[in-house]
Every structure is written in C-alpha cells, then in structure tokens.
Structure 1
Amino acid sequence: MVTPFYPMASMVWFQCVFAGITLVILAGSVLGRMSFKAWMAFVPLWLTFCYTVGAFSLWGGGFLFHWGVMDYSGGYVIHLSSGIAGFTAAYWVGPRSKKDRERFPPNNVLLMLAGAGLLWMGWAGFNGGDPYSANVDSSMAVLNTNICAATSLLVWTWLDVIFFKKPSVIGAVQGMITGLVSITPGAGLVQGWAAIVFGILSGSVPWFTMMIVHKRWSLLQHIDDTLGVFHTHAIAGILGGVLTGLFAEPQLCAMFLPVVNSKGGVYGGSGGIQILKQLAGGASIIGWNLVVTSIICVAINLIVPLRMTEEQLMIGDDAVHGEEAYALWDDGEKYDSTRHGQYSDDTSHNKASIGATQVV
C-alpha cells in the first residue's frame, strides 16, 4: 500500500467539510418551517444512513466506484444527493406559511454577492484539491471550474435579458452556482473546450427547469423547495454527471480513475457505455436518497414534529429562538417568553437580547 504524502488528519477534515456542506445545501430546501429539534435529529441520521452510503459507493471503494462511474468531486455525492434529499424532505415537512411563499425577497443582495465571490473562490480548492496533489489533473480542475462557472453565469444572464428584458444579479449568481455544480463531477476529467459546453448547458437547462417547467408542473409548485435546491443542485448535478460521461478525456481519466480505459462517449470505442454508467449511477443516488430520506423524516415525525407550529411560523424561525437577525429601531421583539416558552437561562439571555435590540 502506497503511503500518501499528506497526514490522514487532512483527509479526514477534507471529507468532513464535504459532508457538512452537503447538509448546508440540503437545509436550503426546508428553510423557514422545519422544527429545530427535528433538524437536530435529521442531521446525524441522514449523514449516517444516506450521505455516507453514496460517498462510499462512489469514492470509498464501493460498487459504483469499481464499476467506473465518474464523480470527480461530488456532482453526485454532494449536489445530486442534497438536491434530491432536500426536495424529499421539503415534501414531508410541508410548505412555508402562505405569507412567506407569496413574498420572499432577498434580504441583502450585497452580502449575497460577497458570499458568491467567496463560494466561487473556495470552489477552486473544492475541485482542485480532489487529486490530493498538485498535478495536471488538479490544474485542469481549477481551470475548468472557472471556465464553466463564468460561461454559465453569462448564459443565465443572457436568458434573463432575452425573456425578462433585464439582467438580474440574483440570476447571475444562480447561473454561477449551476456552473460550479455542473462541472464538479468532471472538473479534472474534461478539456477546457468541454468546460465551455458544460457552462452553456448548466446556464440554460436549470434555468429552463426553474423558470419554465417549475411554473407549469403542479408537483414542483406543491413542494416548497425554499431556495430552489432541486434546480440548482440536483438538475445541475445530474446534468454534469451525464456530460462527464460524454466528454471525459482518456488521458485525464487514466490519471484519476481506478477503471482502465475509461473515457467519454465522444472519444469512441467503449466510451458510449460510460454515459449509461453515469445515468445508472445517478439513478442509484436518486433512489437511495429518495427512499432513505423519506424513512428518516417519517421516523422523526413519530417522535417530534417535523414542522414548526403555525404560531411559530408567524413570528419567524429566528425570533422563535428569542433572537432576531434584523431588529430595526422601535420594532421590538416578536418573541414573547410568556407565550413561546422561556430560555434555559432566562435572565441573562433576555438582558442581552433587549440590549442588542436597543443598541440597534
């Protein structure tokens, strides 16, 4: 066995962050109404019985890994699984309040842009770090990540201009995210020209499902996916996986994958089989997340309610904890300890909370 050139602690932390970000993405589907107690139970159960199974099957030596399904940096393990699991959890938790669904404006576009910039920058380490070394593979991954994200951002913005007659900052960020997600399964496995194709499709296909299909399909309208994680991560993730099966370059595959002679469909020969493998691998991740997430949600609901009460929904999921993210001058607090329960340390928390409100 070859000893790696990095401490095992580095690998543990790298993989822990992957697992953590998957849950953060998933949480975007159930924001604004899932009970915090239910979420505390959901996190360890989902990580144990859902995420780790997919991660091992594709990365850790499982059956999809040995069969040759390509997922360079988590298009399936992270994004497809979080998108499907989030959509499934949103079904079981139920929708937000009618008021929140009808009007849900962005809180701070400037902070969103700052976060988007950090996300884009961090994705270079996310994809570039997967070979666990500085080599041609990691360099291609970083380059392709930026090419695809930039192309996708532009395509999404163009579509907004064409159909809605004006560009949108939020739309541009959505396009950036779908580009980053789409290139993730093939970041170090495709050439730069293929990354442009990834970007064109990742900026248009999720745009179409979000802006057109979503408004016409009753199922998508019925399930309240708060941040549209299904479109930006599940759709973009499966799209990137299939495109990887089409455009994976043989020499880059040989540097990274365990199965010899792996290549995409455009390179002829046995490459066409790779597309079928990618579809089957995606179906496996979708099926597992759909079933296991449903079982977890049903089991938790037998012990604690998945959903906040209507009264709690009215005051908001931050105020119900006795804290408010944005308490404006003279607004007062929506949390009433006589109606919504006491803090475990009532005196100190109330003083701190009131002081913060008065300072603002």
Structure 2
Amino acid sequence: MIFFQFVFAAITLILIAGALLGRMNFVAWMLFVPLWLTFSYTVGAYSIWCPDGWLSVLGVIDYSGGFVIHLSSGVAGFTAAYWVGPRANNDRERFPPNNILLMLLGAGLLWMGWTGFNGGDPYVASIDASLAVLNTHVCAATSLLTWLLLDIIFLGKPSVIGATQGMITGLVCITPAAGVVQGWAAIIMGLLSGSIPWFSMMVLHKKIWLLKQVDDTMAVFHTHAVAGTLGGILTGLFAEPRLTRIFYMVDNWEHYTGLFYGLHSGRARAGFKQIWIQIVGILFVIALNVVMTSLICLLIGLVVPLRLSEEELMGGDESVHGEQAYALWGDGEKYENSKHNSVYGVEELPGKTKGVV
C-alpha cells in the first residue's frame, strides 16, 4: 500500500513536468518537487482518500485518483507554466514529435500499466477491482476511437498522436469511477472523454486568451485537468450504489449514490447531493493547486531563477546536463565524450588523432 501510494505521488509530478518541458531551471525543479508534494499533493490526497479527510467525510468519490492525481497535475502544471513563462517562439511554432514509434511503445506500456493503476486501488482481488480493469480498457478504447473519428471528420486524417491523446483522456476520465460504474457507463464516459477534451484542445485552446498565452508543452491541462474534471462529474452521475457500498464498505443508501440511480430508484435527493459533492471536490482541488503552486513558484523564484538562461536554452541538454539525449555519431556529427561513459578523458581516447573531432 505504501509503495502504491508512493508511485501515485511520483507519477503526479511527472505529469506536471510535461507542462514545463523545454525551459524550467533544473535546480528550481529540484526544489519544486518536495515542496509541491508536501504542501499541495499531500493535502489533496489526505482530504479525499484518508477516512478522516474532510472531502472523504463529505462523500467525494475518487476511486483511483481522478482528482488527487490527474486534476491536481493538470491544474498545477498549467499554473506552474504560467509562472515559468513560455518556450521560445520557434519551439512553440514548430514542435514535431521526436519518434512516433517510441511514442506508440510508451502509449502501449501506459495503457497496460493502467490496469494496475486502477485495478490495484482496492488493494485486494475483489469484484470492484475486476470491474475497474474492464471499465478502464472499455473507456480507453472508446475514447481513442472517438478522438480518431473527430480527427477524420474535422481534420481530414486520422492521427497517431491524436489516438494517443484520446487513449490518455479515456484512461484519465475513467480513473475516478473505474470500480463503481457499470460497463455501459464506461462506454458513455469514453465517448465524452474522446470528444470534450478534443474540443477544449482543438477549438477552445485557439480561442481563449489565457489558454493561448500559457505554454503547456504537452497539453497536460486538456488531457488531465479537463478529462479529470469530466470524469469526476460523470462519476457523480453514474456511480452505482451497490458497487460504491462494496468499495467504501457502507450500508447507507444516502451515501455514494449516482444521480442516474437516484432518479431511477426514487432517491433523487441523494443523487443530486452526490453531484454537488463531486463539484465541491473539483473546486477544492483546483483552488488548492492554483494557490499552492503559485506560492511555491514565487518562493522558489526568490532563491533561484525559474527559467533557464537564454544561453542554456540555446545549448539545450549539453548546457544543462553536459550530455545529449540523442548523441548520434556519424558523418557530419560532432563526437562528444561523456565523463560518465568512459574511463578516458577526451584527449586520452585510444586511437584519437589530432584534428579529428
């Protein structure tokens, strides 16, 4: 259980990093990690997942981290990107993928890993764990196909990158609901998670001034904040009382009742209450992350610059880390020796002749 929660915390920061790629000072990032984990993530996780947390007592449903992980990372990443500032214009205008095949490999690993992400949350082999795994794959597949269909209709061609984005938004959307909704609800959630984040990314992002100004490198706001919010609300709509009673181990029908089932069973008040509770949880997570992320960035900015210098930005990995991510050696390539991969200095390499670089 401790390791499981540790991984949840770690992956949340990785998602935030996706919004800051290409310009954040590495030392500032090293300071950001422990501060944000302590004063933002921990507060949200305790409030929602700890039995004594105020949102847990209120009755928020977040099966596996739609609020704690995805909404938090999307909002925090967007907020941090605002304070760090945008990449250079050239990088923003032309940001092609480095390797689509590797991206597909990573997407496959991510999809497969989400089986444990959602299915492992009850910490036992149970009915809701099995259902969580099935719903995860159903929602992700539906969302992927929906995103592809929208790409074909409005952009003319199916996109591999679009398929990956649709997969991610489906996985994020089902996360707060994975083990407490039925399969048909997972299909509906997939349809919506493949279309609403698509609309926010492909249409609203180009029209809303703030979205255009903040340089969210990997669109973490759309794929995680928007999809996480959507999933949280739909959880309040489709959560089945029989399943929530299994997961939360309660007998009272007035708690954890989705609006759809509340209207169907004559418990409309309980259903509307659950929707309201989900919205309260969303607003709290958004406010917490905007405030704490802003304060942390401002505090770090008093100690070290949040951004890399212009010289470091021009030099890239070589300037910051003294090494390159893609150091391909061939005709016309500059030969560089890393201090970490050889016992020799550059001038001591066997066979190195004067004038050869």
- The reply to whether TM is greater than 0.5 is yes
User: How big is the shift at 1:235?
Assistant: 0.2
The aligned counterpart of 1:276 is: 276
Moved more, 104-113 or 253-262: 253-262
User: How big is the shift at 1:322?
Assistant: 1.1
The aligned counterpart of 1:220 is: 211
Tell me which amino acid in the other structure corresponds to 2:46.
F
User: How big is the shift at 1:13?
Assistant: 0.5
User: How big is the shift at 1:102?
Assistant: 1.1
Tell me which amino acid in the other structure corresponds to 2:258.
G
User: How big is the shift at 1:138?
Assistant: 0.3
Structure 1 position 263 matched with structure 2 position 257: yes
Moved more, 187-196 or 256-265: 256-265
Tell me which amino acid in the other structure corresponds to 2:273.
I
- In structure 1, how many angstroms separate the alpha carbons of the residues matched to 2:344 and 2:280? 52
Q: Is 1:68–1:258's contact at 8 Å kept on the other side of the alignment? A: no
User: How big is the shift at 1:71?
Assistant: 0.2
Which among 32, 35, 46 is matched to residue 25 of structure 2?
35
- In structure 2, how many angstroms separate the alpha carbons of the residues matched to 1:214 and 1:350? 49
- In structure 2, how many angstroms separate the alpha carbons of the residues matched to 1:348 and 1:20? 34
The aligned counterpart of 1:147 is: 138
Structure 2 SS opposite 1:188: coil
Alignment of 1:283-322 (within 5 A): 283-317=283-317, 319-322=319-322
Tell me which amino acid in the other structure corresponds to 2:10.
G
Tell me which amino acid in the other structure corresponds to 1:303.
V
- In structure 2, how many angstroms separate the alpha carbons of the residues matched to 1:276 and 1:53? 21
The aligned counterpart of 1:117 is: 108
User: How big is the shift at 1:334?
Assistant: 9.5
Q: Is 2:317–2:323's contact at 8 Å kept on the other side of the alignment? A: no
User: How big is the shift at 1:348?
Assistant: 5.9
Unaligned stretches of 5+ residues in structure 2: 351-357
- In structure 2, how many angstroms separate the alpha carbons of the residues matched to 1:334 and 1:227? 30
Alignment of 1:1-360 (within 5 A): 11-61=1-51, 62-257=53-248, 260-261=252-253, 262-268=256-262, 269=267, 270-317=270-317, 319-328=319-328, 329=330, 330-332=332-334, 351=346
Moved more, 277-286 or 258-267: 258-267
For residues 105-163 of structure 1, give each alpha carbon's deviation from its aligned partner in whole angstroms, at most 9, with x where no partner exists.
Answer: 00000000001000000001010001111111001100000000000000000000000
- In structure 2, how many angstroms separate the alpha carbons of the residues matched to 1:170 and 1:214? 17
Change (3 A) 1:242 1:318: farther
Tell me which amino acid in the other structure corresponds to 1:286.
I
- In structure 1, how many angstroms separate the alpha carbons of the residues matched to 2:346 and 2:140? 46
Q: How many residues align?
A: 337
- In structure 2, how many angstroms separate the alpha carbons of the residues matched to 1:350 and 1:92? 40
Unaligned stretches of 5+ residues in structure 1: 1-10, 338-342, 356-360
User: How big is the shift at 1:350?
Assistant: 6.0
User: How big is the shift at 1:263?
Assistant: 1.0
Q: Is 1:149–1:175's contact at 8 Å kept on the other side of the alignment? A: yes
Structure 2 SS opposite 1:112: helix
Q: Is 2:64–2:175's contact at 8 Å kept on the other side of the alignment? A: yes
Tell me which amino acid in the other structure corresponds to 1:302.
L
Identity of aligned residues (%): 64
Structure 1 SS opposite 2:146: helix
- In structure 2, how many angstroms separate the alpha carbons of the residues matched to 1:18 and 1:97? 32
Change (3 A) 1:162 1:60: same
- In structure 2, how many angstroms separate the alpha carbons of the residues matched to 1:203 and 1:159? 9
The aligned counterpart of 1:3 is: none
Please, what TM-score do these two structures have when normalized by structure 1?
Answer: 0.90
- In structure 1, how many angstroms separate the alpha carbons of the residues matched to 2:61 and 2:284? 13
Change (3 A) 1:219 1:317: farther
Structure 1 SS opposite 2:203: helix
For residues 307-357 of structure 1, give each alpha carbon's deviation from its aligned partner in whole angstroms, at most 9, with x where no partner exists.
Answer: 00011111214553111111233332799x9xxxxx8x9x969649x99xx
Structure 2 SS opposite 1:115: helix
- In structure 2, how many angstroms separate the alpha carbons of the residues matched to 1:171 and 1:203? 10
Q: Is 1:319–1:333's contact at 8 Å kept on the other side of the alignment? A: no
For residues 49-72 of structure 1, give each alpha carbon's deviation from its aligned partner in whole angstroms, at most 9, with x where no partner exists.
Answer: 000000000111200011100000
- In structure 2, how many angstroms separate the alpha carbons of the residues matched to 1:295 and 1:190? 37
- In structure 2, how many angstroms separate the alpha carbons of the residues matched to 1:19 and 1:94? 25
For residues 17-53 of structure 1, give each alpha carbon's deviation from its aligned partner in whole angstroms, at most 9, with x where no partner exists.
Answer: 0000000001000011000000000000000000000
Change (3 A) 1:311 1:220: same
Change (3 A) 1:319 1:114: farther
Please tell me the root mean square deviation across aligned C-alpha atoms, in Å. 2.1
Structure 2 SS opposite 1:166: coil
Structure 2 SS opposite 1:13: helix
Structure 2 SS opposite 1:130: coil
- In structure 2, how many angstroms separate the alpha carbons of the residues matched to 1:189 and 1:237? 16
Please, what TM-score do these two structures have when normalized by structure 2?
Answer: 0.91
- In structure 2, how many angstroms separate the alpha carbons of the residues matched to 1:96 and 1:350? 35
